[in-house]
Structure 1
Amino acid sequence: MRYAQIVIGPAGSGKSTYCTYMQRLAQDSKRLIEVVNLDPAAEHFDYQPAIDIRDLIQLDDAMEDEELRYGPNGGLVFCLEFLIENQEWLKSQLIGADPDNELSTDPDDDYILFDMPGQIELFTHLTMGKKLVQLLESWNFRICTVFLVDSQFMIDGAKFLSGTMAALSVMANLEMPHVNVLTKMDLLSKSARKQLDKYLDPDPRALLNDLATESAWGRSHRKLSEAIGTLIEDFR
């Protein structure tokens, strides 16, 4: 049995930093965690990827090809689609086996972090994220998705609601065990931490009250906010 985390989150949320420090923590505990980079637009990270999608395709390949001419977002989607279409490459890199042969034995100590692109629509409603998860499951991986959000983004009521709904969309779309992680908490002031703690309280009324008083839109759409708050509470 193999184990994997699919590390997801908006650009700048700290996915690569998370992977780096998880790997270092494992090394300090005399354990091995490998990191796979699946971001074709990545330029720099502090870990050494065991597998790198850029060895298969890079974002520039999709953007500069005379026939494709994709923009950055379309190029990322194309690169992930290309990876899924060339799944034998990924399988051979992960498993070190002939992709045409069935696996006879599975190492029981593989723990791999998949560092994903920051385009979260790949996982909220497009199909590539789901297909990748299904592929890994078929290769005997037990998977948990880890959704990272910058805590500085979440101290505003409306943005907290938006980030929470994005996390819920990922969880519902991928149908995997799911953990949400607030990053960069050390950068918050004491007052910002108190505000965030108020939103994280099991009672969603504090958040709804803030939304209702922040703007005319919030006041006129209070019932919608209440319905969304109830939905979030049901999935806590």
Structure 2
Amino acid sequence: MVFGQVVIGPPGSGKTTYCNGMQQFLQLIGRKVAVINLDPANDSLPYDCAINIEDLIKLSDVMNEHSLGPNGGLIYCMDYLEKNIDWLESKLKPLLKDHYFLFDFPGQVELFFLHSNAKNVIMKLIKKLDLRLTAIQLIDAHLCSDPGKYVSALLLSLSTMLHMELPHVNVLSKMDLIESYGKLAFNLDFYTDVEDLSYLQNHLDQDPRSSKYRKLTKELCEVIEDYGLVNFSTLAIQDKESVTNLVKLIDRTNGYIFQGIDASAVEFSKIAIAPTDWEYYRTAAVQEKYMKDDEVFDSDEENSSAIEANSNSISRT
């Protein structure tokens, strides 16, 4: 049984940086790590790459030969990889005995909630090689400063979770830069817990571009809440404590923490519910470390005002 991560997310969310940092961290704690680059457009890799899809197919060659753009070219490459899955299997087999895998996928989000090629590749590997993989979806934390972009990120996360059908961890990456694009309207736990999106409506109405889609946005938020699947962990890849807590969470979702356990169901259940070590990285600590207190709604009075304004705006619809 082999464990690993499928690293996905929009362009610029930090996937390659994540793989580089995660590889270094896991090696420091004693794991042998193999990073598999499955992004045929990523020709500048900062990490030690065990397997590179460019040895099979290159995006630039596909675009030139078939007169395709970047998006069409990536879809073609994933389709080609699926049809030549034996190539990837043969490369992985020598590493199965003692390696932990990190699969670095392209940033084209359509591959993970619309097209089936990337999913088929993963499912075939899981079935044939007995892999235990967790999907790690990175979302740039600065999107929280824009309510419209945040709702879009939630929809992307939900769609990907439903499509991929893997153990899934959504991560707000680049937490150390979260306020670089503006202050947040609410405390950080509002964005990580995703419990009541109706409070966003008042802030969306303040933007003329968003207010015209008020009813649509309201319905989309209700869909997200009805599923009740989306929440976020947080990550600053250069913060050892942040990475440690994320690794603990990932190890729980793919079962790594239970490997080698030969015990009764009672003993297993005791480990599974071991409380504090497996909790999400505490958002209050993250907020204190990376955010300015005066730029969030951290007083009861401010929160009450936001809730009251939101209630009034909803009652007028």
Q: TM-score range by the shorter chain?
A: 0.7 to 0.9
Structure number with the higher helix fraction is 2
Among 126, 135, 141, the residue aligned to 1:145:
135
Q: TM-score scaled to structure 1, two decimals?
A: 0.87
Among 182, 186, 189, the residue aligned to 2:176:
186
State the Cα deviation string for residues 108-146 of structure 1 (Å, max 9, x = none): x43100000010100111011220121111121011100
Correspondence list, 1:1-236, <5 A: 1-65=1-65, 68-96=66-94, 107=97, 109-138=98-127, 139-189=129-179, 192=183, 195=186, 197=188, 198-201=190-193, 202-215=195-208, 216-221=211-216, 223-231=218-226, 233=228, 235-236=230-231
- Counterpart CA distance in 2 for 1:117 and 1:4 is 17
**Structure 1 pair 142–226 and aligned structure 2 pair: CA distance change class (3 A):** closer
Q: CA RMSD in A?
A: 2.2
State the Cα deviation string for residues 64-109 of structure 1 (Å, max 9, x = none): 11xx221111111111111111111100000039xxxxxxxx62x4
State the Cα deviation string for residues 165-198 of structure 1 (Å, max 9, x = none): 1011111001110000111110133973564614
Secondary structure, aligned partner of 2:5: strand
Bigger RCO (CA 8 Å, 6+ sep): 1
**Identity fraction in percent:** 39
Correspondence for 2:284: none
Task: Give 1:218 deviation, angstroms.
Answer: 3.9
Is the 1:151–1:182 contact (alpha carbons within 8 Å) kept by the matching residues of 2? yes
Q: TM-score scaled to structure 2, two decimals?
A: 0.66
Count of residues in Structure 1 that have an aligned counterpart in Structure 2: 225
State the Cα deviation string for residues 7-27 of structure 1 (Å, max 9, x = none): 000111100111111111112
Q: Which 10-residue stretch deviates more, 50-59 or 21-30?
A: 21-30
Give the AA of the match of 1:155. S
Secondary structure, aligned partner of 1:27: helix
Which structure 2 residue ranges, 5 or more long, are not aligned? 232-317
Secondary structure, aligned partner of 1:179: strand
Which is greater in Rg? 2
Is the 1:164–1:232 contact (alpha carbons within 8 Å) kept by the matching residues of 2? no
**Structure 1 pair 49–151 and aligned structure 2 pair: CA distance change class (3 A):** same
Secondary structure, aligned partner of 2:4: strand
Which structure 1 residue ranges, 5 or more long, are not aligned? 98-105
